[in-house]
Amino acid sequence: MLKTIKAKELKIGMYIKISESWFKHPFIKNEFVITHESQIEQIIKNKIKDVVIDTDKGILKIENVENISHSDKNLTPPDTWQPDKLMPDDLKEAIRDTKMPKEEKAKRVYDASLRMMGKLLESPTAENIKTSKDVVSDLVDLILREPETSGYLLNITSHDYYTYTHSVNVGILSIMVSKEIFKNSDAHDMHELGAGFFLHDIGKTKVPPEIINKPGRLTDDEMFKMRTHPYQGYKILKEADQLSEECKIIVMQHHEREDGTGYPLRLKKDEIHPYGRIGCISDVFDAITAERSYKQAMSPFEALKLMKEQMLHHFQEEIFSKFVLIFSK
């Protein structure tokens, strides 16, 4: 049931709907559950006097509210792996469980995906690459059929910056925006798209770790070596006999920029495939919102605002608009 109340009457646990454009308020979505007093303060500070609440969706228990906070600090880097298994036992179980609460499913799937991707990047063998693509196919199916679970996945992405975390985040974001862009077409292999997005940075396994983990600006020589990772990724997938056309495009083009300033081929405008454009936007967004040793994490709202106001020449505007749209649902 929808009800209009004064902003000052808001309480933690209420599900609110803000009618103003997201550029006019400091939140990543127009609809969400109030989880902190600071959100109420921000609403009042932005002179939003009246707010619509949905009493059927409100969450009143604090322990449940905490489960959907944007950054889950319990998602720490995995310390140990199942030595003989790439895919954690609980991943497919969670994906296929139709009775599991959506927020719990999202957390279990995300955590297990991190473990899988970490193991893959430790050992990017042909067998592991093939297994990871099979798992990603199941993840794609989950995102396509369960929008509510997808929303929770979007909310709990970790902002600790590790290559495996970044790979999972970019994979989830890119599949969701691809779903939005290609929803009226059956001409796209979403499973191979998902594999390409999750594996977009696999070439970094060929870049010296001291460069990958350097806490500061890279030298020209280090940057040259870093910029080989798209081609290195292409070679790894080709040697593993897992290089579909979709994977090839995404791995090679996710650092190309609309104005021709990207790499490795300095493609511009329509020379860049839509798949590459999607990967580029997701890659930049996740990098900006990640916490690094030399910079604080930027909030999703701040990142999207920065991308719109200062970096839009790097992106295809229509695809960027679709990217923004997935955060407003």
pTM for the predicted model, two decimal places: 0.74
Task: Tell me what the mean pLDDT of segment 182-203 comes to.
Answer: 94
Asked if residue 289 and residue 215 are part of one domain, the reply reads yes
Asked if residue 100 and residue 23 are part of one domain, the reply reads no
Helices 102-122 and 89-96 meet at what angle, rounded to 10? 150
Q: Is the dihedral of CA 126, 131, 135, 138 positive or negative?
A: positive
Asked if residue 89 and residue 59 are part of one domain, the reply reads no
Higher pLDDT: 273 or 24? It is: 273
Asked if residue 218 and residue 175 are part of one domain, the reply reads yes
Of 64, 84, 118, the last residue of a domain is 64
Pair 82, 131: CB distance under 8 Å? no
Asked if residue 106 and residue 248 are part of one domain, the reply reads yes
Of 33, 64, 95, the last residue of a domain is 64
| Digit-coded pLDDT (tens) for 56-100 | 776 543 333 333 333 333 333 344 444 456 776 778 788 888 889
Task: Tell me what the mean pLDDT of segment 195-203 comes to.
Answer: 97
| Digit-coded pLDDT (tens) for 289-304 | 887 666 677 888 899 9
Task: Tell me what the mean pLDDT of segment 44-65 comes to.
Answer: 67
- The string of DSSP letters for 257-322 reads -TTS--SSS---GGGS-HHHHHHHHHHHHHHHHSBBTTBPPPPHHHHHHHHHHHSGGGS-HHHHHH
Asked if residue 107 and residue 88 are part of one domain, the reply reads yes
Asked if residue 161 and residue 16 are part of one domain, the reply reads no
Query: CA-CA distance, 224 to 323, in Å (whole number)?
Result: 30
Number of domains in the chain: 2
Of 64, 81, 114, the last residue of a domain is 64
Asked if residue 54 and residue 77 are part of one domain, the reply reads no
Tell me what pLDDT residue 268 has.
Answer: 95
Q: Report the percent of the chain where pLDDT is more than 90.
A: 49
Range of the domain at 7: 2-64
Burial zone of 305 (CB within 10 Å; 0-12 exposed, 13-18 middle, 19+ buried): middle
Asked if residue 79 and residue 59 are part of one domain, the reply reads no
Is residue 325 scored above 70 in pLDDT? yes
